[in-house]
Amino acid sequence: MKNKLFEKYFIFSPYFWLVLFFFIPLAIIFKISISVSEWGMPPYQDIFLFDNGFKINTTYENYVYIFSDYYYIGSFVNSLILALISTFFCLLIGFPLAFFIATSNIRLRNMLLVLVVIPFWSSFLLRVYAWKIILQNNGILNLILLNLGITSEPLQLLYNQYAVIMGIVYTYLPLMILPLYGYLNKFDLNLIEASKDLGLNRIKTFFKVILPLSVPGIVAGSLLVFIPVVGEFIIPEMLGGSDRLYYGKILWEEFFVNRNWPGASALAFSGIIILVLPIVIFQILYSRWSQKNEI
């Protein structure tokens, strides 16, 4: 009986986690986002007032404020585009790598997997900072280019959106490779041989057999890269320039520079809803589709 009770509650532990670390913080953010801002600490008024009887003190002004200024929407769009491009490149580089790892012999495979994971052993900040050293005007890359005579003066490689994309692709690549590998690892290689045997060359085999059967791995890896990149703050801050503003940076500024907590919360909450809602809908449709197609 005691065991039964344990089992009953044990299966709820993921939900407990989700509530504690996602829904409660989200509710707090939502609460702040509908509060009236003021100078002070914290920089917003309570939403329930008891001074002269009970009064609810909320406002939707913060939402009006962020949605009426293209500064905020634009930064979010920039971040979405950045996330899309980064995810695309992660997929482009990650898929062949994951496929190669999944199909190589066990010794080489384990070594390659360790190589994929090794960057995680050093600090994220250090790794991004290392790119700064490589890309800066008197950095290693420019030095090589100058010495080889490819350019006559140092190239401006740092502080632009390309450096940001490169940094993100570099940092997030393992998050693409690992779920893809996990999926491709189970891939029946006989299917590729069967396709070739039936007359399809390598390219056609890729598009008719490998790609359709890899969709679940591609979806998992892409979501794992796409979602956090939208809110990415450190990489654009360190490698990016003033040519483009991103959502994470704006959030930071609203919270810590402008001390506009209600506005920043409204921005954060809107971002999460805009991002999560389509993904939830997509997940539902996708799981129906994959059930129907038995993938």
Partner 1 sequence: MDNNFLVIENISKSFGDNKVLENINLNISKSEFFGLLGSSGSGKTTLLRILGGFEKPDTGRVILDGTDITNLEPFNRPLNYMFQSYALFPHLNVFNNLAFGIKENFTQKEIEINVRNIAELLSIEHLLNRRIKQLSGGEQQRVALGRCLIKKPKLLLLDEPLAALDKKLRSKTQLELTTLQKKLKVTFVFVTHDQEEAMSLSDRMAIMKNGLILECSSPEEIYENPKSLYTANFIGIANIIEIYKKDENFYSDDLDINFKLNKELQNTKTNILLRPEKIKIQSINNLKTSSFNSFSGEILEKSYLGSFTRYEIKIKNMIISVLDQNFNSNSNYNFPKGEKVICSWESESIKVLED
Contacting positions for partner 1 (CB under 8 A):
188, 190-191, 193-201, 204, 208-209, 212-213, 293-295
Query: Would you call 62 helix, strand, or coil by DSSP?
Result: helix
What is d(CA 104, CA 184) in angstroms, rounded to the nearest whole number? Answer: 12
Give min distance, CB of 254 to partner 1, in A: 46
Give min distance, CB of 189 to partner 1, in A: 9
With CA atoms as reference, report the closest residue to 85 among 153, 164, 184: 164
Q: Which is nearer to partner 1, 191 or 276 (CB)?
A: 191
Give min distance, CB of 162 to partner 1, in A: 37
Q: Which is nearer to partner 1, 4 or 292 (CB)?
A: 292
**Residue type for position 7:** E
Cβ-Cβ contacts under 8 Å for 139 (sequence gap 6 or more): 132, 133, 157, 158
Give min distance, CB of 193 to partner 1, in A: 5
With CA atoms as reference, report the closest residue to 62 among 45, 80, 42: 45
Cβ-Cβ contacts under 8 Å for 179 (sequence gap 6 or more): 217, 220, 221, 224
Q: Which is nearer to partner 1, 191 or 281 (CB)?
A: 191
Give min distance, CB of 209 to partner 1, in A: 6
Q: Which is nearer to partner 1, 93 or 210 (CB)?
A: 210
Q: Which is nearer to partner 1, 49 or 295 (CB)?
A: 295
